[in-house]
Structure 1
């Protein structure tokens, strides 16, 4: 059952604009099943029609079309997240301005698809990205769609491995509380990492992400007790 993979509060955070998208990766349910789950929530008036189901190369996401469009338009104006090259051929990860520039072309293609889809008012159907995504680095695109302040890239034409093994990573986690049926449930809003060696270089984007999240949180009254924390981990292998 779709209901088993996510609590309603996770979808609600997307509807509230606290994050632009939610990646569904818990089991093999297809986009149509995810769409039916979203339609049920909508029929119960639990979420708005701003939410859409997205199929990106077989991966299902629930997106807030308005919040996502705002983020992507910012990327086109040169304000997108830093792209960290973590290709296995590198000795250590590095911020890549070249890949950040190339990302704008993919963003422009996606925005055109999204706007055309919304013009046809097809909120009750999944949006299939199709062949346009075949050459995209999904790791990079997912980071962008999910609203991370930093996203990873690797040269998938050469290898799907990365250079993050035994590399200290700063993991940022944002969580909040939601009261339901008399009980308070705490859940994760965001969790992402940045190489510790690049923390200073990416600090402006990380700080801007934190401030914007706090601002959006203060504009709603359903979720409570926002907490943002950091920890440093070093792992023998990192799967992206």
Structure 2
């Protein structure tokens, strides 16, 4: 079987939800995302194609690892019912830079605010959560429990998952809101700028264009977050130039205004 056929077969075998299996396009896009995590171009992949659980995702990753299509260092993590494929080394580097080097801007989008605003006071909270995540990953790697997901349990109940997911996914701008007050936000009809990074992946005779990153930031705060965004672009470009698997990196931005934004 060709590499493409192996990747599609693995996705269809292990990530079936009910009677429905992944399409060829979905399977190749997922494999490209795993490749990007494997190369350190992104720290984690949030699996959200269908309702396949962490155990299924672990079986899928293990099959790629057995075929030498993914590094043994990658792990599956389940956080609040959401499944991730994680590159622990890249997560550690990104998290330490974000929490101690100021590379991430935190934006307060509490529903009570008239407009989103930069929230410096919440960085201490995120620093504590980030440290706990890194400890969990390090302890899990030391257990050497092969082919088992890392389940993050009760310790995550009070975490602001919107911010934590942003950190895990390597975004330069993350949203925060006071979840003790509510889970609504002030982004309704707020002009946003959507940043998208994509690349081309070649498998056998097929060429597949995949999206590596997609996140938004309030257009009114673009000047205040410009340095974070620019540094993120430079680091991504540097990492991209250090590998030869994915090609034609492109970063674009587009405006969007929505009646409601779910975080």
TM-score if structure 1 supplies the norm length? 0.96
CA RMSD of the aligned region, Å?
A: 1.3
Match of 1:109 in 2: 132
Match of 2:118 in 1: 95
Q: Structure 2 residue aligned with 1:61, among 68, 72, 84?
A: 84
Q: Structure 1 residue aligned with 2:182, among 134, 142, 159?
A: 159
Judge conservation of contact 1:72–1:80 (CA < 8 Å) in 2: no
Deviates more, 1:127-136 or 1:113-122: 113-122
1:127 counterpart = 2:161: no
Structure 2 SS opposite 1:128: strand
Q: Tell me how far apart the structure 2 counterparts of residues 84 and 29 of structure 1 sit (CA, whole Å).
A: 31
Q: Structure 2 residue aligned with 1:215, among 232, 238, 249?
A: 238
Q: For residues 75-117 of structure 1, what are the alpha-carbon distances to aligned partners after superposition, in whole Å with 9 as ceiling and x for unaligned?
A: 3424341111111111010110011221101111111111111
Q: Tell me how far apart the structure 1 counterparts of residues 116 and 123 of structure 2 sit (CA, whole Å).
A: 14
Uncovered stretches (5+) of structure 2, i.e. residues with no partner = 1-11, 16-20
For residue 180 of structure 1, report the CA deviation from its aligned partner. 1.5
Judge conservation of contact 2:103–2:231 (CA < 8 Å) in 1: no
For residue 156 of structure 1, report the CA deviation from its aligned partner. 1.4
Match of 1:23 in 2: 46
Q: Tell me how far apart the structure 2 counterparts of residues 80 and 62 of structure 1 sit (CA, whole Å).
A: 23
For residue 27 of structure 1, report the CA deviation from its aligned partner. 2.0
Structure 2 SS opposite 1:231: strand
Distance change (3 Å), C-alpha of 1:66 and 1:123: farther
Q: How many residues align?
A: 240
1:234 counterpart = 2:248: no
Match of 2:5 in 1: none
Structure 1 SS opposite 2:248: strand
Q: Tell me how far apart the structure 2 counterparts of residues 13 and 42 of structure 1 sit (CA, whole Å).
A: 15
For residue 35 of structure 1, report the CA deviation from its aligned partner. 0.4
Q: Tell me how far apart the structure 2 counterparts of residues 113 and 32 of structure 1 sit (CA, whole Å).
A: 18
Q: Tell me how far apart the structure 1 counterparts of residues 31 and 110 of structure 2 sit (CA, whole Å).
A: 36
Uncovered stretches (5+) of structure 1, i.e. residues with no partner = none
Q: Tell me how far apart the structure 2 counterparts of residues 101 and 167 of structure 1 sit (CA, whole Å).
A: 27
For residue 181 of structure 1, report the CA deviation from its aligned partner. 2.8
